Amino acid sequence: MRQSQQPSFIRKDFPKDEEAYNAQILIRAGFVDKVMAGVYSYLPLGLRVLDRIENIVRKRMDELGAAQILMPVLHPKENWQKTGRWGDLDVLFKVIARDKKEYALGPTHEEIVAPLGQKAVASYKDLPFALYQIQTKLRDEPRAKSGLLRGREFLMKDLYSFHATESDLESYYARAIEAYRAIFRDLGLDAVLVEASGGTFSKYSHEFQVLIDAGEDTVVYCEKCHFAQNKEINDARDGDPCPSCGAPLALRSGAEVGNIFQLKQKYSEPFGLAYRDAQGEQKTVLMGCYGIGISRLMGVCAELFHDDRGLVWPAAIAPFDAHLIVLSGADAVVAQEVRRRADALYDSLVAAGVDVLYDDRLDLTAGEKFAEADLTGIPIRLVVSQKTGDRVEIKRRSQTAVELVDFNEAVPYCIQK
RNA sequence: CGGGCCGUCAUAUACCGGCAGUAUGCGUGCUUUGGGAGCACGUCGACCGGGUUCGAUUCCCGGCGGCCCGACCA
């Protein structure tokens, strides 16, 4: 992508209406724009990060045998009345149409996916299966805060599984835990599996928490044996003995990046989601649901991956693989030659399948270009200038050392990452 | 939903019951060209509504909006 053809959303100052670091840096670096409290636009760079996170998630969903679908944001009131959550779920957004009919805006999709699943299930032979979507969720949070960590509108992956037996649900649940571990590992995150309450969903649940100070939850955590429970179900205090190994517990703040539940019959039963077993008996389908906050993950990564100059994206989720900067210089004849060489490098990078952001802007000083590149945080920086001669300067965002390589080595360098 | 703080050019900020200033940005020109460069000239502003007052951006009330603490949190 040529920067000269793109609008720039980079700002020199931190926004004054954000306290959370993740929102400050993502706004300043032009990844997101704040529309109102808890509601953000995802700009070209931010959307690319979300796409990469989605791809990582999608790959693991495929491995779980789940098929991707897309359900509506606008929900019929009756479905929510059937499960009792029209009145119970206080984060449920409700809208009134012109005919005075009321609708819900989807905060989660059990009320839609259960009746959908019912249409595909008649016999035990139709089970199990799993469906997921990546979609914007709406929740009327009493208080949006912490930037992307708690929005009123956010991007979430929600997976739903359908089973004939409890043991099948449990084994799928166990597989989902492993898939989630793999996802967070792929993202470069150290996520802790935490026992938690099930809220309006189920008796208990498991959360994946990234233990960072900016997190919103409090986790009772044992460094030694990795016992972890959400404070909402364990009122332990700092230093209390771990119930599992006796070592002192610590209270840590965590950002919940995943949450999984065994819903069992809770949402299938109200919608008559049932099957005939081998004996011809009618049985209720058992369900599980498994969420990952995609946009929240971007916020968590921003909290984690930065230095005092800006973002430092891990290669797996960086908006681009490489950031090519051309410094034209003053001399018109030299500038033309330098640009010709930079353009040629850009073309070969693109041809080789490298996602490259090309700072081909003419009216910026070298200092501005470097400062913006640091802020953006793309893993590899390439510079072509009069000074680099017939070679290319390469620097990793996470390191200070620079090296000069021959022109034709630059592309392979970016491919091996 | 309770409590606190706040709302001034595009951005970040200052001051003030009477002239709203600075920096950045932006525009023009010249210089500069490997770490947010320099000079000159120019450009842009008091959230909305009511009240007090000779006069309100400033004080008071209401609304709207923002941030923080708490409650809540699939």
* Token duo for residue A89: 């779920």
Which amino acid residue lies closest to nucleotide B12, measuring CA to C1'?
A: A13
pLDDT of residue A333: 82
pLDDT in tens, chain A (417 residues): 999 999 999 999 999 999 999 999 999 999 999 999 999 999 999 999 999 999 999 999 999 999 999 999 999 999 999 999 999 898 999 999 888 899 999 999 999 999 999 999 999 999 999 999 999 999 999 888 899 999 999 999 999 999 999 999 999 999 999 999 999 999 999 999 999 988 777 778 999 999 999 999 999 999 999 999 999 899 888 899 999 999 999 999 999 999 999 999 999 999 999 999 999 999 999 999 999 999 999 999 999 999 999 999 999 999 999 999 999 876 778 888 999 999 999 999 999 999 999 999 988 999 999 999 999 999 999 999 999 999 999 999 999 999 999 999 999 999 975
Separation of first and last alpha carbons in chain A: 18
Distance CA A105, CA A383 (A): 48
Distance CA A403, CA A369 (A): 18
A37 is near strand B: CB distance < 7 Å: yes
Distance CA A277, CA A284 (A): 10
pLDDT of residue A14: 93
Name A residues 363-392 whose Cβ lies under 7 Å from strand B.
Answer: 365-368, 370-375, 383, 385-388
Strand B nucleotides, any atom under 7 Å from protein beta carbons: they are 1-2, 11-13, 24-25, 32-37, 65-74
* Token duo for residue A88: 């119970």
pLDDT of residue A332: 79
pLDDT of residue A200: 72
**Beta sheet of A356-359, edge-to-edge order:** A356-359, A322-327, A380-385, A391-396, A402-406
On the 0-12 / 13-18 / 19+ scale of CB atoms within 10 A, A335 is: middle
With tokens 């099948």, the residue in question is A168
A12 is near strand B: CB distance < 7 Å: yes
On the 0-12 / 13-18 / 19+ scale of CB atoms within 10 A, A162 is: buried
On the CB side of A399, CA atoms within 13 Å amount to: 8
Per the confidence metrics, is the pTM higher than 0.90?
yes
A140 is near strand B: CB distance < 7 Å: no
- The Å distance, CA of A17 to C1' of B17, is 29
CB-based contacts of A112: which residues, under 8 Å, 6+ apart? A71, A72, A75, A79, A106
Cα dihedral A144, A146, A150, A151, rounded to 10, equals 60
- Helical packing angle, A166-186 and A44-63, nearest 10°: 140
- The Å distance, CA of A152 to C1' of B44, is 34
A251 is near strand B: CB distance < 7 Å: no
Strand partners of residue A290:
A159, A260
| Per-residue DSSP letter, A53 | H
Distance CA A130, CA A150 (A): 27
Please give the distance of CA A67 from its chain centroid, rounded to a whole number. 19
A199 is near strand B: CB distance < 7 Å: yes
* Token duo for residue A52: 């990469």
For residues A306 and A153, the answer to whether their CB atoms sit within 8 Å is no
The values of phi and psi at residue A402, to 5°, are -115, 150
Q: Which nucleotide is nearest to A14 (CA to C1')?
A: B12
With tokens 């693991």, the residue in question is A60
A291 is near strand B: CB distance < 7 Å: yes
Kind plus residue range of the DSSP H or E element containing A296 = helix A294-304
pLDDT of residue A27: 95
Closest C-alpha among A396, A390, A385, A395 to residue A408:
A390
- The Å distance, CA of A367 to C1' of B73, is 44
- The Å distance, CA of A325 to C1' of B33, is 14
DSSP string, A321-338: SEEEEEE--S-HHHHHHH
Name A residues 76-105 whose Cβ lies under 7 Å from strand B.
Answer: 90-91
Peptide bond into A128 cis (omega under 30): yes
Q: Which nucleotide is nearest to A368 (CA to C1')?
A: B36
Maximum CA pair distance of chain A?
86
pLDDT of residue A417: 58
pLDDT of residue A202: 78
- The Å distance, CA of A8 to C1' of B29, is 25
Go through the domains of chain A in sequence order and give each one's CATH number. 3-307 (3.30.930.10), 322-416 (3.40.50.800)
* Token duo for residue A184: 């967070």
